[in-house]
Amino acid sequence: MSSEPTRPAPVRHQDHGTWLVQFSGRILVVCPRCGGRALVAPLPGLAAPKYFSSLLFQPRRLSCTNCGKAADWTAARRGNGLVGAVPGGTEDPFFRQPLWLQTRCAGRILWAYDEEHIDALAAYVGARLRERHASPTMAMFARLPVWMKSAHRRAEVLAGLATLRALALRSRPAERSDVAHERGDRPRHHGGVLFRGGPY
């Protein structure tokens, strides 16, 4: 028997083609009334969508427990079709409110929709081995910016994601990140149903 200690297996991440829209079921945003944390989620009582792309058209409600603000969103109609939301960037794709979960990281802005999104990003960033099992065309991880994928930035990005986790536990206006404001980086609409992964 060898007395040499065994090395732990490298952390492995397997990408099966997760899209950003899959994390749009629950989005933490800055309340347009009080500046505290509000939630954008599908209207209560709706059936779960059969396809995750249907989340782009699903009616939403913005609600704030700090001030009671509430607003509803429905997809606009164009002829016989619906114009869906376009995810990506530092605003939510429905009400165009600044995301609550934003922080400065590596000279850029690191953002996420909610805690599940943070966990998915952390699993990818923290992995030493990354395997892709799907086309990168619309996949979220393949579209992440180079600075987030870099091994040299791993510790910095993971620290930024930990900051976002802490922000997710806060809700008062004074606890908002200093970068959680509109930044003018919203996706460009080209007149149809669009999907853009944004910066990631």
Q: Which of 179, 178, 198 is nearest to 188 (CA)?
A: 198
Separation of alpha carbons 200 and 196, rounded Å: 9
Of the candidates 90, 35, 103, 99, the residue with the CA atom closest to the CA atom of residue 67: 35
Query: How much is the pLDDT for 177?
Result: 93
pTM higher than the cut 0.85? no
Q: Strand locations in the chain, DSSP E?
A: 12-15, 27-30, 37-42, 60-63, 70-73, 76-78, 81-83, 102-105, 108-111, 129-132
Q: Three-class SS of residue 9?
A: coil
User: To the nearest 10°, the Cα dihedral for 67, 84, 50, 165?
Assistant: -40
What are the structural domain ranges in the chain? 12-175
The pLDDT assigned to 45 comes to 86
Q: DSSP letter for 136, please.
A: S
Across 46-82, b (16+ Cβ under 10 Å) vs e yields eeeeeeeeebbbbebbbebeeeeeebebebeeeeeee
Q: How many CA atoms lie within 13 A of 85 on its CB side?
A: 28
Q: What is the pLDDT along the chain (200 residues), one digit of tens a residue?
A: 445 555 555 576 666 568 898 899 999 999 999 999 999 999 988 887 777 778 889 999 999 999 999 999 999 888 888 888 889 899 999 999 999 999 999 999 999 999 999 999 999 898 877 666 556 566 788 888 999 989 999 999 999 999 999 999 999 999 999 998 755 454 444 333 433 333 44
Tell me, what's the pLDDT at 189?
43
Q: What is the pLDDT of residue 172?
A: 95
Q: What's CA 183's distance to the chain center, in Å?
A: 16
pLDDT at 131: 65
Amino acid at the residue 174: A
**pLDDT of 194:** 35
